[in-house]
Amino acid sequence: MPLFIESVRAELRVKHYSLQTEKSYLVWIRRFIRFHDLKHPKIFSTLKLNNSSAT
């Protein structure tokens, strides 16, 4: 996760976002990642397909 967070931070700075905006975005990204138990987004579509077919 730290490498991903650093890449997001670098991208926000390249685009000249304010420091407060950068902090807010990074907090929301960390919350989103933790909420989904550190799972990679690529598996979300797979999980959704598996849950749909089970019903």
Indicate the helix (H) or strand (E) that contains 49: helix 42-54
Q: What is the pLDDT of residue 16?
A: 96
pTM score > 0.75 for this model?
Answer: no
Higher pLDDT, 7 or 52: 7
| pLDDT 10s digits, 18-44 | 999 999 999 999 998 888 887 776 776
SS3 35: helix
- Give residue for tokens 């991903």: 4
In sequence order, which residues have a C-beta less than 8 Å from that of residue 21 and are 6 or more positions away?
12
Higher pLDDT, 9 or 55: 9
Contact yes or no for 44/31 (Cβ under 8 A): no
Please count the structural domains in the chain: 1
Q: Can you give the CATH number for the domain in which 49 is found?
A: 1.10.150.130
- Give residue for tokens 């929301």: 28
Contact yes or no for 38/5 (Cβ under 8 A): no
Average pLDDT, the chain: 83
Q: Which domain holds residue 15?
A: 2-54
